[in-house]
Structure formats: C-alpha cells, structure tokens
Amino acid sequence: MSSLDKETVRKIAFLSRIEVAEDALGELAGDLTRILDFIEELQEVDVEGAAPLTSVADLTLPLRKDEVTDGNIQQKVLANAPLTDAGCFVVPKVVE
Amino acid sequence: MTYIIEGATGPWEIVVGLEVHCQVISKSKLFSGASTTFGNDANSNVSLVDAAMPGMLPVINAECVRQAVKTGLGLKAKINLESVFSRKNYFYADLPQGYQISQFDKPIVGEGTIILDMPDGSTKAVGIERLHLEQDAGKSMHDQDPKYSHIDLNRSGVALMEIVSKPDIRTPEEAGAYLTKLRAIVRYLGTCDGNMNEGSMRCDANVSVRRPGAEFGTRCEIKNVNSIRFVMQAIEIEAKRQVELIEGGGEVVQQTRLYDPRAGETRAMRSKEMAHDYRYFPDPDLLPLVFDQAFVSEIEKTLPELPDEKKARFMRENGLSAYDAGVLVADQEKSEYYEVVAKGRDGKLAANWVITNLFGALNKAGVDVAESPVSAENLGKLLDLILNDTISGRIAKDVFEIMIETGDDPDKIVAEKGLTQITDTGAIETAIDEVIAANPDKVQEIRDGKDRMLGWFVGQVMKSTGGKANPGMVNQMLRDKILG
Amino acid sequence: MTDLTNLTLAAARDGLAKGDYTSVELTEAHIAAMASQRDLNAFITETPEKAIEMARASDAKRAKGDVGKMEGLPIAVKDLFCTEGVQTTAASHILEGFIPQYESTVTANLFGNGAVMLGKSNLDEFAMGSANVTSYFGNVINPWKAADGKNLVPGGSSGGSAAAVAGRMALAATGTDTGGSIRQPAAFCGIVGLKPTYGRCSRWGVVAFASSLDQAGPMTRSVRDAAIMLGAMAGHDPKDSTSAPMAVPDFEAALTGDIRGMKIGIPKEYRVDGMPDEIARLWDDGVAMLRDAGASVVDISLPHTKYALPTYYIVAPAEASSNLARYDGVRFGLREVAEGDSLDDLYMKTRAAGFGKEVQRRIMIGTYVLSAGYYDAYYNKALKVRRRIYEDFANAFGTVDAVLTPTAPSAAFAIGENQDDPVKMYLNDVFTVPASLAGLPGMSLPTGLSASGLPLGLQLIGKPFDEETVLRVGGVLESAAGFTAKPAGLEG
C-alpha cells in the first residue's frame, strides 16, 4: 500500500494546500514512496495490548480559572498581517 | 404522531438527527483568556493564542468544563470522567490554526435523553448521542468589499458544546419541540443563552427519507439554520426534495446544504463541495481531560429544577394539564412568572390567565415575558379581585386591557374607574325593576315558559349597570321577581 | 580571538562577579567574533545593538547587587524561539520578516536571569533536518573542517547554535530537540547539548514542529555550563499544558563527580550493523571511563530500538502537518496571491513558495498518515510502537540509573552528502530518536576525535526528570575524556 501514484500525491498536496506543479508530481511521488517504504517496517511489530502513546507527559490536563486575562491587543494581532482593513484580516472573497 | 410524505410511488417517512452548537456561557474563551463578549471592535477580543501565532498554546478554561458537565447532567447523560481533545484539520479563512480543537472519539458527555413536549400534550423521548466541547471559528464577512472577505476573530476560540441527537426525530414538529426543549434546558442550567438569532445556538439538521420502517436512507446535512421555524421548514423542504429526487429516478448524494428561507429551498454549499478529510488526531498540546466523580457531584448539587421536573410538579401540585404545564415550563422566565401569580391562589385559574390572556397579549405585542408591562404581582392582584368578588371575570378582562396599556396596579384601576362590582341588592333591584317595567311583553313570554328570555334580561341589567352588577345576584333576583 | 570568547559560562560568570570585565566587554568580544565568522552563516539575524543594550542593563543590574543565574552572559538564541520585536523565521521563507509581539517563556526566563542575546541562530527549516542544509537562509558551516579542508555540516537542526558555540561566537546557545536536534549537532561540533525531559522547559513561544516531542535545551562548552543554563531556562509554565509542575532543582549541585555504585546500562540494540569502528571504540572507551570511575556497567536490552526511526518519521510529520497549517498567508508571514485568485489558490501558492522541499515532504507524509484509511495503519500503529519504546526504557530504568550510547553514527559529513535521498538523512537520528519518543533527558558530550580529527559524542540518557544524574555522570565522563580539541583557527 505504500506506492503512491500521482493522483494520490495530488490529493495529499491539496489536503496540505501545497501547490505542486504537474511535472513535479512524479519526483515527489518517488520521494514520498521512499519515506513510506521506510516507515513500512513498523507493520512487523506486535503491538497487541499496547495503548497508543499520545503524550509522555504523565499528567492530566491542568484547568485554568475563568478570567479575562488577555485580548484588547488588536494592534499586536494585526501587526504582521499581509493585508488588513477596518481591523480585519483580508482574504480573497470566499463564496459559500 | 406520524408524518408521512405521500409520494407518487407511495408513502415516505423522514428521519432527522440534529447537531446543535451551543455557545457556552463563560467569561473567557475555551483555550485563551480573551473575553467572550460580543459587539466589540473587530479582532479586539482576540489573544495571540486565538490568532494562532507561532508557538502559542491552548490552556483549557475550567468553567467551560463545568458548564459541559452541567449540561450533560441536565440531559441525564453519561459523564465521561476521561475525555480527549482532538484536532479537526481543515483550511478556512476564519480558522486561524488550520484546525479546530474539538473532541472526537472520547467526548466529555455520552448518551442521554431529551423528553419532547408535543403540542397535543403527548411526550416523546429523543436520544442524545453525545455532547462535546470545541472551539468556535471566527467570522468571515463577505459583503464589505466586492473582491475581498473580511475576517474577524473575536468569536474564534469561544467554547461551544456540540450536542448531537440520535436519528430519532420523525417530523418537523418534533425537531421544533427538540430545539425548544433543548433551549429550555440550557437556559435553565445557565450554560447557554439559547439565542438562535444571535448565533449562540446554531443547528445543523441531518435529513433522510425512507419507506416506513425500512433502512435509513442517505442523508444530507443542512448547515447553520438560525431559527426553530426555519429548521422545521428546512426539514420539510429537504425531505420533499429527496422524495422527488428518488421518485424521479435519482439518488440522494450525501452532501452539505444550505437552507435559503427566502427561496424556500435547500442547495448544496459550494465551499463544501471538495471532499473533506479532517484527519482527526489527539491534540499533542493538550493532555487527557480527567476529573473525578466528586467534581461531577459538586456540579450536580448546583443543578436547578429542570423543565421536566417542574412540569411534573405543576401537574401534581397545581392540577394543570400536561399541555398547560408544558407551555409554562418551556421557558424559565414564563414558569417563574407563573409561579408568582399562582402562589397562594388557584393554580389553574392562574395558568388560564397567564397562558390565555397574558401570553396572548404579549404575543400580539411581540414582547417577551421579561418585558411584560403587567408584572406577575399585579396579575396576581387582579386574580385576587376576581376571587374575592370585587370585580367580575368580564370586568377583569377590561382591567387587564388597561394594565397591558399602562402597567398600572389593578386596585388603582378599579378604584379610579369605579369598576367595583355592585353587590348591593337595593341597587340591583332598582335596575331590575326598571328593565321589567320597560318590557312587560317579554316578562309575559318568560312566564309563558320561554325561559331563554331570562338571559336577555340579565344582559339588559348588566348593561344598565355598566357591567358592574354581580351577574349571579342579577340572575337569582330576576328569577325571583319574574317567576316568583 | 580574545580570551573573552574562549570562556565557559561558569568562568565568565566568575569573571563578571570578580569585576575582571563587564558584560558589555564580554558582549562586544562576542559581537566581534560573530561578525568575523559570518562565512559560517551561524546566524540568521544578528542583534548587536540589542545585545549591547541588554549588556548595559545587566551591568547596571549587577551594580545594584541584582545578579541572575546567567547575568551578563551573551548567548545565541535558535531562531525557533519567538523573540519580542526581533524577527523570528524558523529558517523559513514563510516567516521571513515575522516580528513576534511576544517573548517565548524560555527566552523570557533566560533574559530574566540576565542572559544577553547576540542574535538568532540558523537552523534547519522548522527544525526539520539533521545537517542544517534545509534553511531558507542558507546552510550553516561547521567550524570544524575536514582533513581535506572541505566544509562540513554542523548537524541539525540546531546547527547554527552548535556552530556559534563551537566557533566561540557565543558562550552558549539555546537549542530545541525533537528527534536529536540538540544532541546530534552538539556531537558534530564538539560541544555539550542537553535535551531535558519533555515538560521540563516550556514550549510556549517556540515555533512548534512536533508538539509531543519538541523540547528546548542548552548547548554549551561544558557539562557545568549545561547545568547552569538549564537551570535558567527550565520551570513550570501555566501557559503550556504539557509543562511539568515541578520545581527546578539546583542542577549544578548535581555535579559531585562521584558516580560510584551507579549502574550504567549499555543497550545492545544500539550496536547496529555497520557501526563504524571509531564509533564503537569511542563507546567502549566511554564504558571504560565510567567503570574506572566506580560505576557498574550492565548490558541492557531496548528491544524496539530499530523501530524508533520509522515511528518518529510518522509521529513527527503527522503533528507537523497540523502544526504548520497556521502558515497560510492570512495573519502573518508570506502571502503569494495573484489577481483573481481564490482563497485556496492563496493557500496553495503561499505554502508552495514559503516552505522548502523537506518541509513540504514532511507535511505531505504527515497528512497522508493521518488521512482516512491510513490513520490506523500508520499513525495509530506508530503511537502503539511508541508505547513499546517507552516501556523498553521504563523496564531498563528499573535496574539502571543512566544509559550510555553513541550520539550519532558518524562524525560530521561534508555539505552535499546524504542529500540525494531523504531517508539517508533520517538515519543520522538513529541513536537520538528513541529517547525523544520516550520523552527522556539525553545529553551529548564530546569524548573523542575521529580518525580525521573530527569530534565525536557520546549520549547519556536518564530517567524522566532526572537530568541531575545525566549531568553527574556526564561531568565524570567529561573529566575522564578530557576533550580539549578545538576547531582549527580557534586553538588560541
């Protein structure tokens, strides 16, 4: 299952929102396939009874007090934006 | 109650499940300390976390967790002592992180139940599949500029509870009743203000059709419908569309649709055409949310009396019908109003006045019970005036009209307008004598056995006393005088 | 090079305390060293004015008797830490020109402790790499040269930090380590690099690569320096939910020089096929030094070691694919868009132009392993194997106090090598990745030279939150190894 065709790469590239030129798809498919072949080795491990380890932190989620401690920093929020108007970020028109 | 669409090829049943997003009442956001208030300047209630600046991390708000647990308890649902936050990955302009922090396979609340109060007084149980916590997105505004959309992140990161029903709903009315009840519950609990028109409660409806009793059909999701009435309409219209589509030889495709109330149609959303693959995975910035039973018990102690319990109490203690009790508890403010009016008085009379007269008048004026010109105390006083025979029920209605107009105390109105009921036999006798003297022929008709004419005489006497004579006394005295 | 650039943190601390020189003098010497070695490309942004200003403030602070743990000591900051008012790029075109409006917790801690920032050091783009050849701002050159004079990679991803410290441009530097990004460049550049336990240092304000693995740590020229600097960086941070609510011990006090009776584990699975003789010998020498110092050395087994790399190359890209979704050209950073483009066009063009090839590959692999139909086969499977790796260490630490391994399978290699195949480059992390997956503290320190005269490092791995043992054993190994070699031209 680890050989990627161009169509799959095109789909992944779109999900990742990375434009890939049509003539670059082949090489990329090759690179990604090599990586997948490499990680394929995991399939041989017996993980019977192993719970997925999502974090090594031996903690539970700390809860924060419900207080307004942040915000009112519009200038900082917008400081690095490529394009703003009327206090808003601006993007090409979205049609729903 | 069955709801069947009669298609050209036979009957169809609809199957509906609702996903309701309730904005959690809290001061600050789910994962940041920015305020949740509305109406501020664009991007002012935004922290660097909400704007997904590089290296920013989420820290969860304890109050939002409590509110979710409280809502779960109100839905008689299973509270999961361990739940997990996952990332739902997709790109959108108002989703700064490129993912929404939500809960996927381990929600904070599991299965529960909502009891629907149907207009005919019957009830129906609808299952709750789950309730989970998640972040709200920001707001995209498309009408500010012909070429651009504007993005305001003030709402980004506000806590939402997504409450998912089982596909137990079978009619548009049930969908309406479900939303009404859910809204009542969250309002009683104080966990969400339930205002659909302001977007603090939003509904997605999953609609499919099938032959009665057959397997579920393919469903379409109608997104973000912003009133209960529109949800009901959207379901009806979408179900009809699906029936026509199938009967025309087509096939329902699973898709996301928008309801356009003006056009009276649903249509596929362009932005959702691309197949989604949300790639949920546990958020590595957050650890499992774990609390103990004691945490739940503490919250349980703070639960108010909920609509179902209150309804049962009104029926049991005040002798109300299921329908009347259901109407009164549908809204916490209405039920509280009613309780003030009914306190120490005839509960059924109070219910009649509150439901028929007060709600009728408020509906006509288009105002909420909270803004009622007639206070509950004053309505109670009006009932006292009826119950102690100071005024008749008819006069009471006139007084009530004035109260609606002016908000005045009924005692004052009755005194100023001299509306106190005449119970003085002498005064009533005088009025009766005058009517009898003026209508000898009609007196004879009664004496000849035409009993019905007696009512005409009562009316004349009431008219001549300006409605103030005690109708019971008038009736009795007329009978005595004419029939001796 | 003046003497001022050839000090350890500890020595400079003492010199400042004695008044032998001021922080401004110390800082000026390093600014000069930084400027004279620009050809190594160790820094993306130099901040000499800010450095002088901070040094002046530090001298004034010291005059009032207020002396922090790193008071007046000039350091380099990996350009992955957001620094308020100073461009932070993660070595990516997509963040070029980004000026954070906030200070990362780690740099805030360091500055609060008096440290002086010389500039932002170069790295692999978004910390993805093992040779510092993926930076948009050009590769970093190792101050150590090959015997034939060829330029070598400094390792990665904290290659700029390692080069700055080895090249005497900074007394020390911050690094971050996701799969070896502190330890491997430390080994390649002949310095000490300590990756603390996951949760020891706050991740708040550090550009995220893989959230469950990323950890900041010190890169220094001695073990004592690592102890000093870690103490100034670490600490619980309520803004990071994965930060450990633990007090910061006095790490320097752990350097007792006494490891008698300690048990050091030697994992047999690290003796991989084809391990170069000089690496095997280095390791054996290290074992002998610890034994001579009174520790008992025991063979242990970490059976899932060979699966660590494939596990890492699923988990890290998966998290990265999501962490890097925020670089979308809307709120900050690069935007590539043409007239009439849709929002999706903007995203796709911006991210294609803004991310380099390796970052793009990892985002796409991460996207793939999380996508419908592959989640269980790849991502979830990797999480389960990660559990096995974690358990392997837990079992081993039931009997041993620390584990000794080589840091990297080779010495620094020439720029251009290992670049034809992404997987070849990944193999550099074979010895560092297991401890990352298990969240354990790991330190690399130089203990010898390769046949071609390049530094080689050994790695010590400790129990969770037991950096003290790692430092104590490391201190003993450091003394025994007596590594004093310096890059050519810096022997002075």
Q: What are the pLDDT digits (tens) for C394-416?
A: 999 999 999 999 999 999 999 98
Give residue-wise pLDDT tens across range C119-151: 999 999 999 999 999 999 999 999 999 999 999
Q: What residues of B are in contact with residue C371 (Cβ under 8 Å)? A: 277, 279
ipTM of the complex as predicted: 0.97
* C180 confidence band (pLDDT: 50, 70, 90): very high
Q: Which among B283, B299, B315 is the end of a domain?
A: B299
Number of independent structural domains in chain A: 1
How far is it, in rounded angstroms, from Cα C348 to Cα B322? Answer: 59
* C1 confidence band (pLDDT: 50, 70, 90): very low
In terms of domains, do B107 and B184 share one?
A: yes
A92 closest CB neighbour out of C341, C355, C439: C341
Q: What residues of C are in contact with residue B61 (Cβ under 8 Å)? A: none
* C11 confidence band (pLDDT: 50, 70, 90): very high
Q: Which of C157, C222, C410, C444 is catalytic?
A: C157
B55 closest CB neighbour out of C82, C321, C322: C82
* A94 confidence band (pLDDT: 50, 70, 90): confident
Does A17 map to a domain? yes
**Which of A73-87, B281-295, B324-338, C29-43 is predicted with the least confidence, judged by mean pLDDT?**
B324-338
Backbone angles phi, psi at C484, to 5 degrees: -125, 0
How far is it, in rounded angstroms, from Cα C426 to Cα C181? Answer: 12
In terms of domains, do B45 and B173 share one?
A: yes
In terms of domains, do B168 and B91 share one?
A: yes
Does A65 map to a domain? no
Give residue-wise pLDDT tens across range B229-286: 999 999 999 999 999 999 999 999 999 999 999 999 999 986 554 567 999 999 999 9
In chain B, which stretches have pLDDT less than 50? Answer: 273
Q: How far is B279 from chain A (nearest CA, A)?
A: 10
Cβ–Cβ pairs < 8 A, chains B and C: 98
Number of independent structural domains in chain B: 3
Which DSSP string corresponds to B108-120?
A: SB--EEEEEE-TT
In terms of domains, do B127 and B254 share one?
A: yes
Give residue-wise pLDDT tens across range B273-303: 456 799 999 999 999 999 999 999 999 999 9
Task: Give residue ranges of B with CB < 8 Å to any C CB.
Answer: 48, 51-60, 87, 89, 91, 93, 96-99, 149, 151, 277, 279-281, 284-287
Backbone angles phi, psi at C21, to 5 degrees: -155, 165
Query: Cis omega (within 30 of 0) on the bond before C157?
Result: yes
How far is it, in rounded angstroms, from Cα C291 to Cα A3? Answer: 49
In terms of domains, do B413 and B431 share one?
A: no
Which residue in B has a C-alpha nearest to residue A76's C-alpha?
B48
Interchain CB distance below 8 Å, A52 and C344:
no
B60 closest CB neighbour out of A63, A73, A74: A63
The reported pLDDT for the residue numbered B101 is: 98
In terms of domains, do B29 and B50 share one?
A: yes
B61 closest CB neighbour out of A14, A66, A76: A66
Q: What residues of C are in contact with residue B89 (Cβ under 8 Å)? A: 321-322, 325, 370
Interchain CB distance below 8 Å, B54 and C101:
no
Interchain CB distance below 8 Å, A32 and C380:
no
Average the pLDDT over C81-86 and give the result.
98
In terms of domains, do B67 and B166 share one?
A: yes
Cβ atoms of C312 and C429 closer than 8 Å:
yes
Pull the structure tokens for residue C329: 């050209």
Q: pLDDT above 90 covers what percent of chain C?
A: 95
Which DSSP string corresponds to A34-75?
A: HHHHHHGGGGGS--TTPPP--------PPEEP----B---HH
* A2 confidence band (pLDDT: 50, 70, 90): low
The reported pLDDT for the residue numbered C423 is: 84
Neighbours of chain B (3+ CB pairs under 8 A): A, C
How far is it, in rounded angstroms, from Cα B156 to Cα B143? Answer: 20
Mean pLDDT score of chain C: 96
Interchain CB distance below 8 Å, B150 and A86:
yes
The reported pLDDT for the residue numbered B445 is: 87
Choose between C53 and B452: higher pLDDT.
Answer: C53
Distances A37 to B135, B141, B256, C75 between C-alpha atoms, Å: 37, 45, 37, 41
How far is it, in rounded angstroms, from Cα C199 to Cα C137? Answer: 30
Q: What is the DSSP letter of C119?
A: E
Pull the structure tokens for residue B76: 């008689």
Q: What residues of A are in contact with residue C88 (Cβ under 8 Å)? A: none
How far is it, in rounded angstroms, from Cα C93 to Cα C355? Answer: 7
The reported pLDDT for the residue numbered B470 is: 83
Q: Which among B299, B316, B348 is the end of a domain?
A: B299
Which range marks the domain in which residue A14 is found? 6-43
Distances B216 to B15, B17, B206, B239, B363 between C-alpha atoms, Å: 7, 12, 12, 13, 39
CA nearest neighbour of C254 among C223, C222, C233, C232: C223
C157 is catalytic: yes
Does A23 map to a domain? yes
How far is it, in rounded angstroms, from Cα C81 to Cα B55? Answer: 8
Give residue-wise pLDDT tens across range B86-104: 999 999 999 999 999 999 9
Q: How far is C443 from chain A (nearest CA, A)?
A: 18
In terms of domains, do B121 and B196 share one?
A: yes
Helix, strand, or coil (residue B144): coil
C50 is catalytic: no
Helix, strand, or coil (residue B1): coil
Cβ atoms of C92 and C58 closer than 8 Å:
no
Angle (deg, nearest 10), helices B393-406 and B376-387: 160
CA nearest neighbour of B338 among B361, B303, B310: B310
Of the residues A6, A19, A63, the best mutation for testing chain C's interface (the one with the most C CB atoms within 10 Å of its CB) is: A19
The reported pLDDT for the residue numbered B394 is: 83
Cβ atoms of B237 and B243 closer than 8 Å:
no
What one-letter code names the amino acid at B473?
M
The reported pLDDT for the residue numbered B38 is: 85
Domains and CATH numbers, chain C: 3-260+443-481 (3.90.1300.10)
Does A55 map to a domain? no
In terms of domains, do B460 and B329 share one?
A: no
**A33–chain C Cβ distance below 8 A for any pair:** no
Query: Could you tell me the pTM of the whole model?
Result: 0.92
C78 is catalytic: yes
Residues near B183 by Cβ (< 8 Å), separated by ≥ 6?
A: B194, B196, B201
Does A95 map to a domain? no
Interchain CB distance below 8 Å, C331 and B52:
yes
The reported pLDDT for the residue numbered B274 is: 58
Which range marks the domain in which residue B389 is found? 305-417
CA nearest neighbour of B185 among B337, B322, B74: B74
**Looking at the predicted structure, is the pLDDT value of residue A1 above 80?**
no
Q: How far is B231 from chain A (nearest CA, A)?
A: 19
C390 closest CB neighbour out of A56, A64, A81: A56
Q: Which among B371, B390, B417 is the end of a domain?
A: B417
Q: What residues of A are in contact with residue C207 (Cβ under 8 Å)? A: none
CATH number, domain containing residue B460: 1.10.10.410
